[in-house]
Chain A
Amino acid sequence: MISGAALAALVFLVFYYLPVNFSALVSGSLPSNGAAAVSSVAAAVVGSTPIIGLVLAVLVFLGAVLRGSRVYGMILILVGSLFATYTYLLFHGGSIGGTLPSDLSLGASGSFAIDASLLMVVLLIPSLLTVVKGALLLAVRG
């Protein structure tokens, strides 16, 4: 139970709290223009994806509580699927693009594109393996 709560808290911290408060956390260590740019870009990239992090925290806690039960496999499938969805949405399918804020220094504006397909795939693998594990557990216990 305690380890489940700790794991859920970690998931909440990493997948919800940090993305939602990213701008506020980094603004202190950056110049004002840079902080505004990072904040704008982070908001565009993250979007509403952290909401999934809240659900994940709950499911991770449930998984810890219900470990070994008949529904554990189903919970793992849900957790794996949501992690994969979270990762896919956060990486915008591997190609993240957007516009830079108009209040950059000296009136600069622009756009950016990040191709992080390989990193996304690397991050998707544990999630997909978790789904496989959940399916195996369902098959074994079914």
Chain B
Amino acid sequence: MTSRGAVVRNPSRLVTIVNVLIVVSLVAAVGAAASVLLTIAQAVPTVSVGSIGTATTSRGAIQIQVPITLSDKGPLSISDIDVQTTVTDSSNDPLLTGSVGPLTVAAGATSSLDVQLVLDTKTLPAALLQRLATTSENLTVSAVASTSLPPFVKVSATVSAPLAWGAPVSDLQMGTPVLALLNSTAITATVPVSFQNQNSLLTISGTGNIAVFDSNGTRVGGGTLQVNVPPKSSFLEPAALVVDLPSSQMLSLLFTDQNLSYRAVMTFLSGGQDVFSETLPISYSWKAPLSGLMTADPSVVPFNSTAVLVTVHVAFTNGQQFSPALSGFVKLAYLSQTPYVLNLTVQTSYGPVSKQVVMTA
């Protein structure tokens, strides 16, 4: 009470006290401002983004990792660093999400943040995955970042940028198959498969399954294709397929050239789920092994007193390049006065083929 009264009675002393307060507050203000400015000025130039990496988890999710390094050389710690990242497509549907934080970089320390963007193939619609796999489009990357320099400053920012998404499986093509005989009921078809990985981030790696269907939609064969395509590169490898020959049409296939049409459905799996499926036509001009089989008019001449010699010219074209040489024999199956009935048997790769030839002579 006494000292307060002395101050009031002596205004110059009050001024002195205010002067002291001004100096103290000025030092505190300059110190606070300088600390903030120094921390920002020395930290911002150290922010660096490392090389972007990708990985696929066991669940099939594709992770895109963006490493960010930050050094805090200022007097204040950088706290509550939080980055939420979202990648959306042209319809504004979220495709990838990622977050990091909250993290704190102590004064004088260096820290690395790994912003992970996760493309979860299990949660995205199949049609969207299919479109992303085969179509290049412009995506949008949005990031919401916040941090603070406690206790003085809190900063938040929202940034969006276009991201050119290149189709990982672009211009998928299957070439003309090269057939080879596997056994009497199946052939192998070596089909050149090509596509371009136009994506600048993703490596397409894994096993592609190829299923072959006939015109009725029945699965008649298939095969697998090992794929490892780095970003921005092309793929061209042969796929070995095993295709069953249509048993119901076998007789026709042996004698008649035909155009065989199939559908090849190629799928890529990730985490046990189809992430991409493409249907491509495969056609092959089948050349019959006994094409144009015909017999000329037989000649029958006496052989001895009890038999006649029947001579018949048999003609056909083995159009198959991959079949081994054909062999066969002709057996007189039935003989009457007329007509003569011959059984023509040819041993082919697909088993013995018999045809009855009726002759009048």
| Residues of chain A at the chain B interface (Cβ within 8 Å) | 29-30, 100, 104, 106-116, 118-119, 122-123, 125-126, 129-130, 132-133, 136-137, 139-140
The answer to whether residues A126 and B25 also contact, given A109-B159, A113-B157, A132-B18 and a CB cut-off of 8 A, is yes
Contact residues, B7-55 vs A (CB, 8 A): 11-12, 14-15, 18-19, 21-22, 25-26, 28-29, 32-33, 36, 45
A100 touches B159 (CB 8 A): yes
Alpha-carbon distance between A109 and B21 when the two chains are bound, in angstroms: 44
A119 touches B157 (CB 8 A): no
Closest A residue, CB atoms, query B21? A129
B45 touches A123 (CB 8 A): no
**Which of B14, B25, B28 has the most C-beta atoms of chain A within 10 angstroms of its own C-beta?**
B25
Residues of A within 8 A of B162 (CB): 106-107
Instruction: Report B44 CB to chain A, min CB distance, Å.
Output: 8
A133 touches B159 (CB 8 A): no
B157 touches A110 (CB 8 A): yes
A136 touches B159 (CB 8 A): no
The answer to whether residues A106 and B15 also contact, given A125-B25, A126-B25 and a CB cut-off of 8 A, is no
The answer to whether residues A113 and B156 also contact, given A108-B161, A119-B36 and a CB cut-off of 8 A, is yes
Instruction: Report A133 CB to chain B, min CB distance, Å.
Output: 5
A125 touches B160 (CB 8 A): no
Judge if B152 is at the interface, Cβ distance under 8 Å.
yes
Judge if B158 is at the interface, Cβ distance under 8 Å.
yes
The answer to whether residues A110 and B159 also contact, given A122-B152, A136-B11 and a CB cut-off of 8 A, is yes
In the assembled complex, 5 residue pairs joining A and B whose CB atoms fall closer than 8 Å, in A order, are: A107-B161, A112-B157, A114-B153, A123-B32, A136-B11
B159 touches A116 (CB 8 A): no
The answer to whether residues A119 and B153 also contact, given A125-B25, A133-B22 and a CB cut-off of 8 A, is yes
Cβ-neighbour of A136 out of B14, B33, B156 (below 8 A): B14
Judge if B1 is at the interface, Cβ distance under 8 Å.
no
Residues of A within 8 A of B45 (CB): 29-30
Alpha-carbon distance between A125 and B161 when the two chains are bound, in angstroms: 41
| Residues of chain B at the chain A interface (Cβ within 8 Å) | 11-12, 14-15, 18-19, 21-22, 25-26, 28-29, 32-33, 36, 45, 151-162
Cβ-neighbour of A114 out of B22, B29, B154, B160 (below 8 A): B154
The answer to whether residues A116 and B161 also contact, given A125-B29, A129-B18, A130-B22 and a CB cut-off of 8 A, is no
Instruction: Report A142 CB to chain B, min CB distance, Å.
Output: 11
Alpha-carbon distance between A106 and B156 when the two chains are bound, in angstroms: 20
Alpha-carbon distance between A109 and B154 when the two chains are bound, in angstroms: 20
Instruction: Report A111 CB to chain B, min CB distance, Å.
Output: 5
The answer to whether residues A109 and B29 also contact, given A118-B152, A130-B22 and a CB cut-off of 8 A, is no
B29 touches A126 (CB 8 A): yes
B157 touches A137 (CB 8 A): no
Residues of B within 8 A of A130 (CB): 22
Instruction: Report A138 CB to chain B, min CB distance, Å.
Output: 10
Instruction: Report A90 CB to chain B, min CB distance, Å.
Output: 11
Residues of B within 8 A of A29 (CB): 45
Alpha-carbon distance between A140 and B7 when the two chains are bound, in angstroms: 13
B21 touches A114 (CB 8 A): no
Residues of B within 8 A of A108 (CB): 159-161
Alpha-carbon distance between A113 and B159 when the two chains are bound, in angstroms: 12
A110 touches B160 (CB 8 A): yes
Residues of B within 8 A of A104 (CB): 159, 161
B155 touches A133 (CB 8 A): no
Alpha-carbon distance between A122 and B36 when the two chains are bound, in angstroms: 12
Cβ-neighbour of A123 out of B29, B155, B158 (below 8 A): B29
B161 touches A118 (CB 8 A): no
Cβ-neighbour of B25 out of A107, A112, A129 (below 8 A): A129
Alpha-carbon distance between A100 and B156 when the two chains are bound, in angstroms: 12
